[in-house]
Amino acid sequence: MQTDSSFTFVLFGGTGDLSMRKILPALYEAHRAGMLAPGGKIFAVARHIEGREQYLQWVNEHVRAHVSNAQFTEDAWRTFLDRIEFVAIDLGKAEDFVLLRDAVADLPGTRVFYLATGPSLFVPICHALASVGLNQNSRIVLEKPLGYDLRSSNAINDAVGEIFAEEQIYRIDHYLGKEPVQNLLALRFGNALFEPLWRRDWVESIQITIAEELGVEARGDFYDNTGALRDMVQNHLLQLLSIVAMEPPHSMDSDSVRDEKLRVLRALKPIDPRDISRVAVRGQYHAGVIRGASVPAYANESGVRPESTTETFVAVKAEIENWRWAGVPFFLRTGKRLADRIAEIVVNFRPVPHSALGSSALRPGANRLVIRLQPNETIRLYCLAKKPGEGMNLSSVHLDLAFDQFFREGQMEAYQRLLLDVINGRLALFVRRDEQEAAWRWVEPILNEWAASGTKPKPYAAGTWGPAAASAMLAQHDTCWLEEEN
């Protein structure tokens, strides 16, 4: 489906890593697939590039490597580059924005301003856009992190909200654009099979994991002042939790979906500071081996303070105080330099109350649903079946929904879906301000207690699944992380 109308897409931070790896490749694929209106233009904004030709050379060198060969054609690439214009602006000089205004003034359709910059530049850019009248008939996209805590997040939202109305602001969380997350909504609300089971009576526990093999790479300076709780839990993991636990919305319009997510976030049981050592695990990776290669400790990474106590791993138990989920633990986990790169949601159903078929049917996790978000996007339902042969011996089997095998058309990458939604004015997959505030309120007691107590992160070797304390936390509930079962 093609975008609804012509558009002007303005990319601040046009030479940055996010623009090269994600945003421009996603726009290219939308262009190649015929999803962008023919008249739509892309304006890149940067300071250290001299002009359009030099910028296109930069794109050829840095973006092409992030476009798969299966998606690349010379004709599509050439016509995609034809869409791109360039404006050299010093973001610290509001007067430079006159150049941008003059470049886009006569172009038809909606304007999208994508701020792929550090959060310290969000407010100055917004003020500069308003000073030249570019905050009208426009949408603005804000990348995470939006603030350092609730207070700083509110300060940014207040300042941006003075210039752009809430319905103009798109706070992006790319996990909400992933195909399996969309299919989770379809699975829950499009099929009668799961709804009766999707509650405390039949669900024993839920795990949500986002694990990375990579370390901090070139982001040491940023990451050392952020940490895993702010970088991943406050946004990605809590957004996934709200999707899993939300009530059926009356429709899929933006506010109906986001109202239900907000109810979940507001129903999260507040964490008592006295319980934080029991329900939250903080870790930091030390030197280790990943896929046969030695990797340094976090404290030895570029840009990281040698004495740093920033966490690179977090596991936390959440509870939702409502009738559907009361008493069901949600275990959230994220970390860098772990044993594998995965993102998944594991729904563990309760075992049968009595089995005439042996103990296999009574073990935890005999029935479960695993929604894999990365690297391969699948939904897998596990159940028990009889092994062939004599006797009633049970074995775990699974039913697969592997999207790349079932659907002939290619999957849409998360950023591609979200960018098309911005251009078309669809807000359902973007985070509303009240959602963001509720998430910050829930994580702040953990941050404050860690700071006040001087809690140091527990060490774990790179290439493992994190500190042993994360496993001990689940053992208190007679369960374990999915990979530990084998």
List 62, 236, 250, 398, catalytic entry: 236
22 carries a ligand binding annotation:
no
CA distances from 411 to 30, 181, 373 (A): 12, 13, 12
* Residue 46: strand pairing partners: 88
336 carries a ligand binding annotation:
yes
Q: Do 208 and 241 meet the contact criterion of CB atoms below 8 Å apart?
A: yes
Q: Do 112 and 7 meet the contact criterion of CB atoms below 8 Å apart?
A: yes
185 carries a ligand binding annotation:
no
Residue 236 annotated as catalytic: yes
91 carries a ligand binding annotation:
yes
CA angle 310, 316, 317 (to 5 degrees): 165
Q: Could you give the CA distance from residue 262 to residue 341 in angstroms, rounded to a whole number?
A: 29
387 carries a ligand binding annotation:
no
Q: Could you give the CA distance from residue 280 to residue 394 in angstroms, rounded to a whole number?
A: 36
Residue 291 DSSP label: T
Q: Could you give the CA distance from residue 91 to residue 121 in angstroms, rounded to a whole number?
A: 8
158 carries a ligand binding annotation:
no
231 carries a ligand binding annotation:
yes
Residue 368 DSSP label: E
Residue 392 DSSP label: -
Is the bond preceding 375 in cis, omega lying within 30 degrees of 0?
yes
Q: Do 337 and 211 meet the contact criterion of CB atoms below 8 Å apart?
A: no
Structure-token pair, residue 340: 């594998």
Query: Residues at the annotated binding site for substrate?
Result: 174, 178, 212, 231, 336
Residues labelled catalytic: 236
Query: Residues at the annotated binding site?
Result: 47, 90-91, 144, 174, 178, 212, 231, 336
Query: Residues at the annotated binding site for NADP(+)?
Result: 47, 90-91, 144
